[in-house]
Amino acid sequence: MKTIYNNYEFQEIHCSEGNLIKSNIDNLIHCCKLVNSPLNNLFYCETNWGYSFPTTNCGKDLYKRWKEWSNYCFSKSIVAEIIKIPPFVSIDNLDKSIFQELHVVSKTCALNISDENFISNFKKKTRYIIKKADKSLVCKVGNKKDAIEIYELYKKSMKNLNADKRFLLNLKTFQFLLNNQNSSIHLAYFEDKIVGFVCFLFDSFISHYHLSASNEIGKKLNVNYLLLYKAISESVKKGIKLIHYGGGLTNKVDDPLFKFKSKFSNSILDYRIGLSIHNQELFKQYRNTKSNKIIDFVEI
């Protein structure tokens, strides 16, 4: 099972902080971000961005190759690893033997496409908002000349959200996305000024809501509704069968982002995290059992 998230170049360009390490095991396709633990010379790692699941070039024997990877991590003082499991793939189709623990941590939204009349899945109010926004805004598909304009809007949006610096992307990321044939960025303008954008990623039969941003004018004019509609329309034209929006900023039922994505969905999926322990002794010794985090080490 390989998706756009398994692309090493994609992962590297989205790793703004920390070291990305790539599998050195023959036929194992996998990379992750190295994270310092509070303990001296002990590390853990996690899937960097999106939902990438380890896979093999030969299509089998993942467990054997993962064991080799685990031994490599052990030798580098990497105690454990978190894998963000793709919600859009049936858990029964994945090799769960590489995990010691499996946690359902939240929900994500998706839209199953049965025909071109996808908008019939939306409530009447959502359809009205899209139609009204379309009268006020001008939209287009971005190209490489738009990178700086998109990036500046993104930076301002992240600043307003007080986003953690660990999750900030740089200009090179947007240049990559605009030049990648498997991604598309839709832009919206009001009076010739950009007010919002949305970025979608494309696999063979699945598209992914990747990034979006808007300013105050865009929010007032419901730019996110219109841009999402435009991106969904493009997905349908490409023959996409499932659009995955992801989840909210939290795992709360009333999370505003999750509620917004739900308006464009007809399916709710389980989002799981897999824990793979590379050093059982050290993990057991230093794990903070009182923490609600999957990986949380504490000095004894």
Tell whether 42 and 15 lie within a shared domain: yes
Tell whether 124 and 166 lie within a shared domain: yes
CA gap 264, 271 in Å, rounded: 18
Q: Which of 166, 140, 157 is nearest to 15 (CA)?
A: 166
| Backbone φ and ψ of 101, nearest 5° | -140, 150
Tell whether 27 and 81 lie within a shared domain: yes
Tell whether 98 and 119 lie within a shared domain: no
Q: Which of 36-40, 83-87, 288-292 has the lowest mean pLDDT?
A: 36-40
Element (H, E) at 158: helix 147-160
Q: Does a structural domain hold residue 261? A: no
Q: What angle do CA 99, 100, 103 make, to 5 degrees?
A: 80
- Given pLDDT bands bounded at 50, 70 and 90, which one contains residue 157? very high
Q: Which of 212, 217, 246, 215 is nearest to 229 (CA)?
A: 212
Tell whether 95 and 77 lie within a shared domain: yes
Q: Does a structural domain hold residue 253? A: no
Buried b (16+ CB within 10 A) or exposed e, 80-98: bbbbbbbbbbeeeebbeeb
> Where are the strands (E) in 136-255, listed by range?
138-141, 183-190, 193-202, 206-214, 242-246
pLDDT at 17 over 70: no
Q: Does a structural domain hold residue 179? A: yes
Residue 198: strand pairing partners: 186, 212
- Given pLDDT bands bounded at 50, 70 and 90, which one contains residue 18? low
Q: Does a structural domain hold residue 258? A: no
CA gap 76, 94 in Å, rounded: 27
For residue 97, give the CATH number of its domain.
3.40.630
Structure tokens at 67: 């064991």
pLDDT in tens, 217-256: 999 999 999 999 999 999 999 999 999 999 998 888 789 9
CA gap 161, 229 in Å, rounded: 24
- Given pLDDT bands bounded at 50, 70 and 90, which one contains residue 123? very high
pLDDT at 300 over 90: no
Q: Does a structural domain hold residue 297? A: no
Q: Which of 74, 51, 62 is nearest to 29 (CA)?
A: 62
Contact 216, 194 (CB under 8 A): no
Q: Does a structural domain hold residue 260? A: no
Contact 65, 28 (CB under 8 A): yes
Q: Does a structural domain hold residue 162? A: yes
Q: Is the pTM of this model over 0.85?
A: yes
Tell whether 21 and 74 lie within a shared domain: yes
Domain range for 190? 114-240
Tell whether 169 and 282 lie within a shared domain: no
State residue 38's pLDDT score. Answer: 86
Tell whether 128 and 232 lie within a shared domain: yes
Q: Does a structural domain hold residue 223? A: yes
Pairing, β 78-85 against β 183-190: unpaired
CA gap 189, 176 in Å, rounded: 22
CA gap 44, 295 in Å, rounded: 8
Tell whether 94 and 19 lie within a shared domain: yes
Tell whether 139 and 88 lie within a shared domain: no
- The alpha carbon of 159 is separated from its chain's Cα centroid by a whole number of angstroms, namely 20
State residue 59's pLDDT score. Answer: 60
- Based on the structure, what is the number of domains in the chain? 2
Buried b (16+ CB within 10 A) or exposed e, 228-257: bbbbbebbbeeebebbbbbbbeeeeeebeb
Instruction: Tell me 195's DSSP state.
Output: E
For residue 176, give the CATH number of its domain.
3.40.630.30
Question: CA of 89: how far to CAs of 105, 114, 206, 250, in Å?
Answer: 16, 18, 10, 22
Structure tokens at 185: 């960025």
State residue 60's pLDDT score. Answer: 67
Tell whether 118 and 236 lie within a shared domain: yes
Tell whether 198 and 229 lie within a shared domain: yes
Element (H, E) at 276: strand 267-277
